[in-house]
Structure 1
Amino acid sequence: MIIEKTASIFNKKGYTGTYLSDLTNATGLAKGSIYGNFKDKNEVAVEAFKYNYKFQSDQILQKINQKNKAIHKLLIFLNHYRTAFRPIFNNGSCAILNTAIDADDGNDLLKDEVIKTIYNWHKTIVSILKDGIKQNELENNFYVETFSYRMIAMIEGSIMLAKTLNKPEILLKNMDFLESEINRLKSE
């Protein structure tokens, strides 16, 4: 309950911008009740990040597991952000991006969690790409690792720009561009 009620607060305000009073107000619990369940604010923040990330990733992974072709699996990521960007924006934007920036130079525990998450996302995309190559769905003359990081960077950067500038069309147009890049990987 503590994590569910505080996850969006951490995502919107960041680790340093979230105060104990935010946690007690959101949960209706006293400080002792929160810290009776968690060692410190840092531990609550890590669990809130995991919750925010899992909320998004579970939706995507569930859809990916329903597809057989690599291209269709890759497009699941794009279609998710095309259709779910408003709830993502309302929740403070992307948990990975927000937490990465917030924790980059001062919170090693959170930063390590973000790094694990990015590597997991990268590993998922690489696995899809390699499977597509193996199944002769995708060309084998491109750098899978590089493409995966570019895809992640394009999605994350597009979310940041679209949310910050209040221009969802940036995200939508970049997802269209990324879709054309994915389609260019098709084997003839």
Structure 2
Amino acid sequence: MKKGEQTRQHIVQHAAPIFNTRGYSGTSIQDVLRETGLEKGGLYNHFKSKDELALESFDYAVQLLREAHKAAQQGRQGTLDRLQGIFEVTLRSAQGEILAGGCPILNVSVESDDTHPLLKEKAQQAAMSLQNFIAQVLAVGIKKGEMKPELDPEATARVLFALFEGGILLTKLHDNPAYLHDARTHMLALLKLYQQEA
């Protein structure tokens, strides 16, 4: 990797937790300069604007989530076990273990709803990607005969995604992971209704 690419990556890695914790409007270029140790000119050699840096920082945050989901699926068998892996990443994300500040999809969705259309679009894409991943897990479960064919993978994925993101929101609001654990309990109860009998 060339020095310029390394510096750009260094900036993004340090900026992403700031944006994710303080939000777009709450993050200043001075905050990023302080964290990266760069001068203003050095930063603007790599990013034309705060917008460009925020968008790339969000992409980086989402990539961290994807990598965590991929790692959490290793060695898992069966639909419910794979969904437990997705839940575990959700819990780790809510607790700031993957990136300081919690779930970047939720954070950007809440902040950028009416204020930053490009960030909102990226959050929509990331949310759809995760919903599609959940739907794929469910569809494989139906194909393998683990889940009943009347289970709708796409609709169920939307419900599970809403449960997870709502659980993250309430966990952060009340500083209590019980809300996410309740979401998992309801996820399992819902899916057990659609399990094929052995």
Give the alignment's TM-score, normalised by structure 1. 0.91
Distance 1:24 1:130 in 2: 46
Q: Which structure: greater helix fraction?
A: 1
Partner of 2:39: 30
Which runs of structure 2 are paired with 1:130-145 in the superposition (5 Å)?
130-145=139-154
Cross-structure match for 2:136: 127
- Number of aligned positions between the proteins: 188
Q: What is aligned with 2:109?
A: 100
Question: Which runs of 5 or more residues in structure 1 are unaligned?
Answer: none
User: Could you tell me how far 1:67 is from its partner in structure 2?
Assistant: 2.7
CA distance in 2 between counterparts of 1:171 and 1:69 reads: 22
Partner of 2:184: 175
**In structure 2, do the counterparts of structure 1 residues 18 and 162 end up closer, same or farther at CA, with 3 Å as the change threshold?**
same
- Report the CA distance between 1:176 and its aligned residue: 2.1
Q: Say whether 1:110 aligns with 2:119.
A: yes
* Fraction of identical pairs, as percent: 27
> CA contact under 8 A between 1:3 and 1:44: conserved in structure 2?
yes
- Residues 139 and 187, structure 1, Cα contact 8 Å, conserved in 2: yes
For residue 24 of structure 2, give the secondary structure of its aligned residue in structure 1: helix
Cα distance in 2 for partners of 1:89, 1:127 equals 23
Match for residue 160 of structure 2 among 143, 147, 151:
151
- Deviations along 1:62-100, one digit per CA (max 9) or x if unpaired, are 222533422221121113334564334981121000011
The letter of the residue matching 1:148 is A
**Counterpart Cα distance in 2 of 1:107 and 1:86:** 25
Structure number with greater CO (CA < 8 Å, separation at least 6) is 1
Check whether the contact 1:133–1:140 (CA below 8 A) recurs between aligned residues: yes
Please tell me whether the aligned partners of residues 74 and 125 of structure 1 are also in contact (alpha carbons under 8 angstroms). yes
Taking only aligned residues, the RMSD between alpha carbons, in angstroms, comes to: 1.8
